[in-house]
Amino acid sequence: MLKNIPPILSPELLKVLAEMGHGDRICIGDGNFPGKSMAQAGGAILVRADGHGVPELLDAIMQVIPLDAYVATPAMTMEPMECDKDLDIPVVEEYKQIVAKYDERGAAAFGTYERFEFYEQAKGCCCILQSGETSIYANLILQKGVIK
């Protein structure tokens, strides 16, 4: 065990976060996200976080890495498909509140990818963190910044 490290961050996940450099990205997938196939397609490391939701993982990750200050939107979510546009997806607002605790840009740090573009971008991430999140469209890609 380590002091001052959120216990939800497993040794495997901590290793990935520590090895990531400026501009590297991590995809946090919800329980429906095809994490294994995305990781295999892009050569990413697959880390499982079954039983944990994306908000709690996001909060812990934001405690140990900064978001990239050199890009406008270092936090990217998945846009709902046209057939799902009427769905209420409150988890994204929760993400914005969490990020606002650690990054002064708050909600302005967020952008969106169309669903299939999100999948393509996920393939380029260093890590796919497969959560147990049950909310739909709860996927998130974070781009790591510089620790100053």
Active site residues: 22, 68, 119
Q: Which residues are registered as beta bridge partners of 128?
A: 27, 46
Segment holding 37, helix H or strand E? helix 35-42
Show the DSSP H helices in the chain as ranges.
Answer: 11-19, 35-42, 54-62, 91-102, 115-123
Q: How is residue 102 annotated by DSSP? A: H
Q: How far apart are CA 17 and CA 126, in angstroms?
A: 9
**Gyration radius from the chain CA atoms:** 14
How buried is residue 13: exposed, middle or buried, by Cβ count under 10 Å (0-12/13-18/19+)? buried
Number of H helices, E strands in the chain: 5, 6
